[in-house]
């Protein structure tokens, strides 16, 4: 009850009971309880700083630390009992500590505010979450890179504007998405550096009036640095916004890959077949095999975008320092983590079990995709590319006018377009030769793709050491 000082961390100034609806509206324990471990870790470090500042005795420190260990065991075993008055994870843990050790528990919050406590918990929690997501992304990348290495000889159509463009290697397509993921991993590791800054010791707004050793807290909790300004430390959520944007961009990349695979898995394409383990059926149509895993990967991107946009709208109207609006940070952060964690794992499963149909892929290649090669043929004979492009376009038009494939134009037909076409033009109509000419770094030639595989293997090895 609000009129009982022991019931709330802020109860002394209030006389009446809080409206039950307001109690429920104000509480965050339903979701912030997942930070129980971070909250206990922060408190165990803080009591050491209190003891060093002679604000608790060594015996009190040991009692508090032992009590926190008991609470940790209760949470670990799933037997911690949340009570109606437990507004949030901090209140719950401190209430339970008082039940276990009585009076010394009341000293734990000396010089500390929930403002610096909650943001410390969040940074500790997110730091661990980033480690997990990094491992997930690296596992997916490794799966993709090794698949690209194994299927390097498979050719299929590359598309721009959803139209057949040029022949490429299937492995080149896989690696294009692996490279995007590598950027996601690098961004996440950069964000982790900014997450790993200690806010504890900032108090509510003005700092702490006690001799709290923040360097000790930094070392105890494994932070890389200490926040510079107490007002900023308790009121900013840049690290959450960055994480939400990172999740949005990462799922943009995975959504794009899922969209491609959905198209490739349709009967109209039939380039790939999803494993039954990552497909579902229809309640009405027995023949259906739906790529629900890919559809859900695609849809989850919208969910994460919504979290990011919603939280940014919350932030943009706030005055300085802490406001209760910031309670919205945790649900957005937790949901984005849960979503990306699941998506990365499912995508790894899809990519590790996917079956390709090389024959269908090869059959989808068409001579019109070699129109650029026809232009390059002329370039190699000294024709400026812009002129060669125009000549090749005329050849395409001639084939369309005759309702035949580009490679069915006779030498006579081609010579009518340009006298530079000779008997050796027949060498243009070979898909593998076409692909092999793109041997510059980053290209789709086998040698270039093999280099990409090795570079990504090296990249992965450095980040998994």
Query: Which residues does the annotation mark as catalytic?
Result: 161, 282
Cα(220)–Cα(93) distance, rounded to whole angstroms? 20
Which tokens is 261 given? 């695979």
User: Which has the closest alpha carbon to 442: 457, 456, 430, 425?
Assistant: 456
**Secondary structure (H, E, C), the chain:** CCCCHHHCCCHHHCCCCCCHHHHHHHCCHHHHHHHHHHHHHHHHHHHHHHHHCCCCCHHHHHHHHHHHHHHHHHHHHCCCCCCCCCCCHHHHHHHHHHHHHCHHHHHCCCCCCHHHHHHHHHHHHHHHHHHHHHHHHHHHHHHHHHHHHHCCCCEEEEEECCEEEEEEEHHHHHHHHHHHHHHHHHHHHHHHHHHCEECCCCCCCCCCCCCCCHHHHHHHHCCCEECCCHHHHHHCCHHHHHHHHHHHHHHHHHHHHHHHHHHHCCCCCCCEECCHHHCECCCCCCCCCECHHHHHHHHHHHHHHHHHHHHHHHHHCCCCCCCHHHHHHHHHHHHHHHHHHHHHHHHHHHHHHCEECHHHHHHCCCHHHHHHHHHHHHHCCCCCHHHHHHHHHHHHHHHHHHCCCHHHCCHHHHHHHCCCCCHHHHHHCCHHHHHHCCCCCCCCCHHHHHHHHHHHHHHHHHHHC
- C-beta pairs of 3-6 under 8 Å, 24+ apart in sequence: 6/95, 6/98
> Would you say 444 and 438 are in contact if contact means Cβ atoms under 8 Å apart?
yes
| 56 Cβ contact partners less than 8 Å away, ≥ 6 residues apart | 47, 50, 64, 104, 107, 110
> Would you say 220 and 48 are in contact if contact means Cβ atoms under 8 Å apart?
yes
Which tokens is 424 given? 């050796």
Which tokens is 197 given? 């800054």
Cα(121)–Cα(228) distance, rounded to whole angstroms? 18
């Amino acid at each position: 009850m609000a009129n009982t000082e022991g019931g709330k961390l802020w109860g002394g100034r209030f006389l009446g009971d809080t409206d039950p609806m307001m109690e429920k509206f104000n509480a965050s324990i339903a979701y912030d309880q997942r930070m129980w471990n971070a909250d206990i870790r922060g408190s165990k470090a803080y009591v050491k700083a209190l003891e060093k500042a002679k604000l608790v005795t060594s015996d009190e420190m040991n009692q508090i630390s032992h009590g926190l260990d008991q609470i940790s065991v209760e949470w670990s075993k799933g037997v911690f009992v949340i009570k109606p008055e437990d507004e949030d994870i901090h209140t719950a843990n401190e209430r339970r500590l008082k039940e276990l050790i009585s009076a010394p528990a009341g000293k734990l919050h000396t010089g500390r505010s929930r403002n610096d406590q909650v943001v410390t918990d969040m940074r500790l929690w997110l730091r661990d979450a980033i480690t997990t997501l990094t491992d997930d992304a690296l596992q997916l990348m490794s799966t993709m890179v090794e698949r690209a290495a194994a299927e390097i000889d498979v050719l299929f159509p590359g598309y721009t504007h959803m139209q057949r463009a040029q022949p490429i290697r299937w492995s080149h397509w896989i690696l294009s998405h692996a490279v995007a993921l590598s950027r996601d991993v690098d961004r996440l590791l950069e964000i982790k550096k900014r997450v790993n800054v200690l806010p504890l010791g900032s108090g509510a707004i003005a700092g702490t009036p006690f001799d709290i050793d923040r360097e000790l807290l930094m070392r105890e909790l494994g932070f890389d640095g200490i926040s510079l300004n107490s007002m900023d430390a308790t009121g900013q959520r840049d690290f959450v916004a960055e994480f939400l944007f990172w999740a949005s961009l990462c799922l943009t990349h995975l959504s794009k890959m899922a969209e491609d695979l959905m198209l490739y898995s349709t009967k109209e394409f039939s380039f790939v077949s999803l494993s039954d383990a990552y497909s579902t059926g229809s309640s009405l149509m027995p023949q259906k095999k739906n790529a629900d895993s890919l559809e859900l990967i695609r849809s989850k991107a919208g969910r994460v975008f919504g979290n990011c946009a919603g939280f940014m709208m919350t932030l943009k109207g706030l005055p300085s320092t802490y406001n209760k609006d910031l309670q919205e940070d945790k649900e957005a952060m937790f949901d984005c983590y849960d979503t990306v964690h699941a998506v990365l794992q499912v995508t790894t499963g899809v990519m590790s079990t996917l079956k390709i149909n090389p024959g269908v892929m090869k059959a989808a290649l068409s001579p019109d995709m070699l129109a650029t090669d026809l232009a390059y043929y002329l370039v190699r004979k000294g024709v400026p590319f812009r002129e060669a492009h125009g000549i090749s376009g005329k050849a395409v038009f001639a084939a369309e006018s005759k309702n035949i494939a580009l490679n069915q134009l006779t030498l006579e037909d081609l010579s009518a377009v340009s006298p530079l076409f000779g008997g050796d033009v027949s060498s243009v109509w070979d898909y593998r030769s076409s692909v092999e000419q793109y041997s510059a770094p980053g290209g789709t030639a086998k040698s270039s793709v093999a280099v990409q595989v090795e570079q990504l293997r090296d990249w992965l090895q450095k980040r998994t050491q």
